[in-house]
Amino acid sequence: MLSLLQIELYKIYRRPRTYIAFAAITAIVLIFQFAFKSDGQSYMNLMLQNVQDNFELDKSKAINGYFMCYIILNTLLVQVPILVALIAGDAISGEANMGTLRLIVTKPFSRTQLIIVKFLASFIFTIILLVWMAILALFVSLLIFGSDDLLIFRVKGEESQILQITQDDILWRYFAAFGYATIALTVIASLGILLSVFAENSIGPIVATVCIVLFFTIVSNINVPIIDKNIKPWLFTSYLVGWKGFFYIGIDAEGQPIKGSVENWMAIRNSLYILIAHIGFFLGAAIYSFRNKDILS
Amino acid sequence: MKPIIEVSQLCKNFKHFTAVNNLNFTVYKGDVFGFLGENGAGKSTTIRMLLTLIEPTSGNINLFGENLQKNRKEILNKVGAVIEKPDLYKYLSAFDNLNLFAKMSRLKLSKNVLLEQLDLVGLADRWDSKVKTFSQGMKQRLGIAVALVHNPELIVLDEPTNGLDPQGIADIRNLILKLSHERGKTILVSSHLLSEIEIIANRMLIMHKGKKIVEGDVNSLLDPSKTIVKIETANNQNAFELLSNSIWSEDLKIIDEQILLKIAKKDVPNLNKFLIQHSVDVYLIQPLHSLENYFLNLTKSTAHVESFTN
């Protein structure tokens, strides 16, 4: 199994397509950093226009490495599923398209092993992608913008909030957030692998995975009570942005932030369970389908 | 002789048709077994069932005396295959492809051993070139190297000469003969190029519409007591009338102004003498009963030969 995994990782490593994801993330992050370094104050003025009467803020300190990472994560974690789909959606269908699937399946290991190895390779790819993102978005931003307390702008119900997290209470939240994002993106990877079992070209499952994620994400963002109550809980995309929960710091009775706390641990835990259940379901379905599939390509 | 492949009552039904219907055959150790049939005869479906790519609807496959479904991993470790096109990882070199598939068979082979494998198929000088730069013939040879990398006892080649130029076909044919004669491999090779099978196989099976038509030794199947000859003369009508009054009159036909005669091979010289003695200018006496005609006859695809058998 380990040698098979090494082979899969080697194939991913040698494919030019793999580096599209890393190049895209690098380009987007650098553009963000350049834009905020050049004209970050305009962004802050826009963000604070509704609340600046109630708060006294040093705007120059608000734009720091931690803040940049939060902004980048907010934007990129919507796009990264597409990059994960590029690899996972190609896992089986890419082999079928190249004609190598029929050769691989005649090798002395089971089809279940093959799917598990493809899944693990996609999982590792996702981790590496997120580590790269963390290096660029967090550590490079800290180098460029320095560190300070993190200000989070949040709309809760009908009111706007600014949450302040002291800089000695931030780093663990980013590690937790990246960990959560890994699980969330692994759902996309397992969905991509499931869809790739049914196709004999790479484009179909990649596009299908992206379309499903986009469609569900759009529905997840429709803030109508009937959808909130009856549909959103059933969409895995509703839980993809659950990483933000690590930045919603708990507040005591006097309205002061409690260091090391989060507002709703239960919500984060439940979201993780739901995401892991989705991974299990998609992976199980992929194994079942592939075991019973006639390889005709 | 030790059976390597034993197939019994094998069937495969797809939604709207039966691809393989109650197929039985045996391949013995050391055989070069020709698997013949037109496109759609069921050859590839059978081969895919032998390699566990397709699940049989019913029937039994034993390889090396063991049930394929129950001992899949152990059996497949002793089998090498090229299935239709030899598709490999185009973005990798020949060497990397070979190394990768060796590792899939749980082998860690040295560079020298891998280069020897490439040398066997004539690709040693292109070991570092990416597969996307290879011609169809080179890909086919690399596919065979991949099939051989784990030193399998049984080699399955599905249409290995498809898309190759005459030199490529000759190279593959020579390689198959080399593997059989020098390395003692058991080889199952499918083809619709019947002349290929005639040259390389010692035993064969002919399939038509999912069913076995005939299985046996190539030499005995191709050595009937009589053959069919086509005769061309300066005046075919006169020659036909002459032959109609000879000892060969019973097996004589003229179709589309071509004289066809069913005759014992040993009598062909006598036929020639007879025609010359009767002042017939003979242009051609050509035996038609090659494997190809035999095959076409069996699958009832040719009116000329069929007319003799009806």
Domains and CATH numbers, chain B: 3-218 (3.40.50.300), 226-288 (3.30.70)
> Could you tell me if residue A296 is inside a domain?
no
- From B196, B229, B215, select the one nearest B298 (Cα to Cα): B215
- Residue B103 has its nearest CB partner, among A7, A100, A110, at A7
Distance, CA of B179 to CA of B50 (rounded, Å): 20
Mean local confidence (pLDDT), B19-30: 92
Chain B residues touching A90 at Cβ < 8 A? none
Distance, CA of B257 to CA of A215 (rounded, Å): 72
Which among B20, B69, B75, B83 is the top mutation candidate for probing chain A, defined by the most A β-carbons within 10 Å of its own β-carbon? B83
Domain housing A25: 2-291
> Could you tell me if residue A102 is inside a domain?
yes
Q: What is the nearest CA distance from B89 to chain A, expressed in angstroms? A: 7
Which among B91, B96, B130, B136 is the top mutation candidate for probing chain A, defined by the most A β-carbons within 10 Å of its own β-carbon? B91
**Which of A277-286, B108-117, B142-151, B181-190: highest mean pLDDT?**
A277-286
Q: How many domains does chain A have?
A: 1
Kindly give the residue spans of alpha helices, DSSP state H, lying in chain B: 43-50, 72-76, 94-104, 111-120, 136-148, 166-183, 194-200, 218-221, 236-244, 268-277, 291-298, 303-309
- From B209, B177, B199, B240, select the one nearest B37 (Cα to Cα): B209
Residues ≥6 apart with Cβ < 8 Å to B95: B111, B114, B115, B118, B127, B128
Q: Do B105 and A106 touch (CB under 8 A)?
A: no
Whether the CB-CB separation of A84 and A121 falls below 8 Å is answered with no
- Residue A108 has its nearest CB partner, among B77, B90, B91, at B77
What pLDDT is recorded for position B54? 92
B193-213 pLDDT, tens digit each: 777 788 889 998 988 888 888
- Could you tell me which residues of chain B have a Cβ less than 8 Å from any Cβ in chain A? 48, 51-55, 72-74, 76-77, 79, 81, 83-85, 87-92, 96, 100-101, 103-106, 146
Using pLDDT thresholds of 50, 70 and 90, give the confidence band for residue A189.
very high
This prediction's pTM: 0.79
Question: Scanning every residue of chain B, which has its alpha carbon at the shortest distance from the alpha carbon of A109?
Answer: B73
What pLDDT is recorded for position A172? 93
Mean local confidence (pLDDT), B8-13: 92
A241-270 pLDDT, tens digit each: 888 889 888 888 877 888 888 888 888 999
**Which of A159-168, B26-35, B105-114: highest mean pLDDT?**
B26-35
Chain A residues touching B51 at Cβ < 8 A? 102, 105-106
Which among A20, A106, A292, A293 is the top mutation candidate for probing chain B, defined by the most B β-carbons within 10 Å of its own β-carbon? A106
B230-247 pLDDT, tens digit each: 899 998 889 999 999 999
Mean local confidence (pLDDT), A16-21: 83
Question: Scanning every residue of chain A, which has its alpha carbon at the shortest distance from the alpha carbon of B71?
Answer: A108
Average model confidence (pLDDT) across chain A: 86
Residue linked to tokens 């993102």: A133
What pLDDT is recorded for position B308? 45
Mean local confidence (pLDDT), A284-289: 95
Share of chain A above pLDDT 70, in %: 95
**pLDDT of B309 higher than 60:** no
Please name the helix (run of DSSP H) or strand (run of DSSP E) that holds residue A225, with its range, or none. Answer: helix A225-230
CA distances from B76 to A49, B27, B156 (A): 69, 16, 11
